[in-house]
Structure 1
Amino acid sequence: MALPTYDQLMLPLMKLLSEQKQGMKLSDAARVLSERSGLSSEELSLRLSSGTKTVFYDRVGWAKTYLVKAGLISQPKRGFCELSEIGRRLDLSKLTSITIEYLMQYESFSNYKLGISKENQKIQYKVDKEISHIHKLEETRTPDEIITETTELLKSNLKSDLLQMVKDKSPAFFERLVVDLLVAMGYGGSHQDAAQAIGKTNDGGIDGVISEDRLGLDKIYIQAKRWENTVGRPDIQQFKGALADQVAKKGVFITTSNFSKEAIESAKKSGIVLIDGDKLTSLMIEFGLGVQVERSFHIYKIDQDRFDEDNY
């Protein structure tokens, strides 16, 4: 018996969660689904080439990810999943399968697949309505193109999960996260100096002041907000006023949400740097904050110089 694909596992996962009064761990869900699958122990023990997890568990994980993106499953806490209100309203008995085409009817999922969500507007993916079309599309792409697009997809998923984890934490945690990020980027002098700077002033719209370099020759004023709502022009204007009171030249406004068009235009006129949720998670990944390398690949090519006879 062949291992089920991730899309073939979406309906069984939904049905399993519908049987639960409360959410369950993804690992427990994968175990129950494996017991119900009728697969042999040898098939269930097949692992990814990286060796980090079994193929079956990995596919259950991707099934969960896509159902979360569609809003059919929610994640009340780390490692747990349960049917959302939308998911509970579905009559699962009338469904024979859940496919990518089926999930495209949900705006949150179609935005995710098309790469036009507010948290990730810069990445766009070509999405076909049927899995068979996706396979045909892959046949027309070069291996380099497939690797690049797959890498971007994995990064997009990571950024989405990373941002949600940040939003779930307290404002105090977010302030410490900002400190860690700025220090990792080379600002703030020592970590102790940076930690003392953020969250201490609360002076007219300024959350902290941090050194631009280790010598403290210039200062950067920080506004750090763990918000859900869009940051508007009035918020930027307030920050600009606070900077003017301090005769400050440089300011950074960091938020877990996003900025309105008017806010962006206002910030440009005054030299304020804006970091929204998408940029924040990109920087966290770039500087290795809150993430770790699961595996890495090396792609080799011929060293032409090594075969140049004139070199011998």
Structure 2
Amino acid sequence: MSAKQSASSVPSTKSLLLPTIRALQDLGGSGTTEEINGKVVELLNLPEEVLEIPQGSTSQSKVEYRLSWTRSRLKKYGLLQNSARGVWSLAETAIDLDDLDAEEIVRTVRERYRNKVIDAEPPDEPIEAIEAIAELSWYQQLHKTLLALEPSAFERLTQRLLRESGFIQVQVTGKSGDGGIDGIGIARINGFLSFHVLFQCKRYQGTVTASQIRDFRGAMQGRTDKGLFITTGTFTRDAIKEATRDGAPPIDLIDGEQLVQRLKELGLGVKITMIESVEVDSNWFARI
């Protein structure tokens, strides 16, 4: 399949609307972004070559990118809601897919937010709400900044990230010939339990494969029972399966999208400015 043919086989946001609702229903009404994306991919049986098509210079794939716009549309239509902890849920427990029309959802959202958009649009997609545009803007800027870091600086950032996340005794080793082990730390659970974690941090725009996960696990052998692989890129489905393979030491995966979200949550290199919104209540004055 050529690159052009692969790109054309990526589902549009419109065609992803109902599968996203179905995915949440199958997940019990709520789910994280990763869970929802995975379930939609499963429902549509999307091939690996389609899932690996990148969205420009970001760490997202084109499928992930369009799914993010899909969730935004469904939220604005009133079918989805999301918490500050990144969990999405159905606004109503009883949603009949047969009663929903993708064309109607798109048309309603466009009309509702016609006066609240800016003159910009994502590739291959119509203009959307300013909220989603702004989200993409900071995400792309942060991801570009991460890719521009020197390898040693990215290792120090990972060290800081883990410390801010509750790890202690985090050390960056960065030894050549150490099987890709970039550092070690101790994860604390509720102040009582703790376990050693070896981590690898890859400042990478491409896709991490299953063989790279196996190499990392081989370097962990006999040193710890837990691994953490952090990348600015993405992971193939086979890599995700390999990370949680039965009978092998588990490896937690943090891709580029999760990384930038975590940096935002912790306020590391990201400043969040709250904007005051003032509206005039004309009806109040009319009642005087």
TM-score of the aligned structures, taking structure 1 as reference length: 0.48
- 1:30 maps to what in 2? none
For the pair shown, the structure with the greater C-alpha radius of gyration is 1
- The alpha carbon displacement at 1:218 in A equals 1.4
Q: Residues 218, 266 of structure 1: CA spacing in aligned structure 2 closer, same or farther, 3 A cutoff?
A: same
Structure-1 separation of matches of 2:68 and 2:174: 37
Matched, 1:140 2:120: no
Provide closer, same or farther for how the CA distance between residues 137 and 120 of structure 1 changes in structure 2, counting only shifts above 3 A.
Answer: closer
Aligned with residue 117 of structure 1, among 62, 65, 89: 62
Deviation at 1:177, TM superposition (A): 0.9
Q: Which runs of 4+ in 1 moved over 6 A?
A: none
Read off the aligned partner of 1:289 and give its amino acid letter.
L
- 2:186 is aligned, of 199, 202, 211, to 211
1:113-139, Cα deviation, whole Å (9 max, x unpaired): xx963674641256xxxxxxx997443
Query: Is the 1:227–1:257 contact (alpha carbons within 8 Å) kept by the matching residues of 2?
Result: yes
Is there any run of 5+ residues in structure 2 with no aligned partner, and where?
1-53, 74-105, 116-127, 280-288
Indicate the SS of the match to 2:217. Answer: helix
Contact 1:116 1:122 in 2 (8 A): no
2:257 maps to 1:282 = no
Shift in Å at residue 183 of structure 1?
A: 1.4
Question: Match of 1:292, SS?
Answer: coil
- Structure 1 segment 72-83 matched on structure 2, within 5 A: none
Partner of 2:152: 172
Which whole-Å CA distance do the structure 1 matches of 2:159 and 2:236 have between them?
25
How far apart are residue 261 of structure 1 and its match? 1.5
Deviation of 1:249 after TM superposition, in Å, equals 1.6
1:228 Cα deviation after fit: 2.5
Partners of 2:179 and 2:226 in 1: how far apart?
16
How far apart, in 2, do the equivalents of 1:118 and 1:207 lie? 30
- Which one has a larger percent helix, Structure 1 or Structure 2? 1
> Which residue type is aligned with residue 206 of structure 2?
N
- The residue type equivalent to 1:226 in the other structure is R
Identical aligned residues as a percent: 27
2:207 aligned with 1:230? yes
Alignment check: 8 A CA contact 2:182 2:199 kept: yes
What is the deviation of 1:256? 1.1
Q: Does the aligned pair in 1 maintain the 2:155–2:182 contact within 8 Å?
A: no
**Structure 1 residues 168, 116: CA separation in 2 closer, same or farther (over 3 Å shift)?**
closer
2: CA distance, partners of 1:116 / 1:204 = 28
Q: Distance in 1 between matches of 2:198 and 2:278?
A: 43
1:242–1:288: structure 2 CA closer, same or farther, 3 Å change rule? same
Matched, 1:294 2:270: no
Alignment match, 2:172: 198
| CA deviation after TM superposition for structure 1 residue 215, in Å | 7.6
Shift in Å, 1:141: 5.8
Q: Which has the higher contact order (CA 8 A, sep 6+)?
A: 2
Unmatched segments (≥5 aa) in structure 1: 1-106, 127-133, 301-312
Matched length? 176
Shift in Å, 1:185: 1.3
After superposing the two structures, state which structure 1 stretch, 279-288 or 210-219, moved more: 210-219
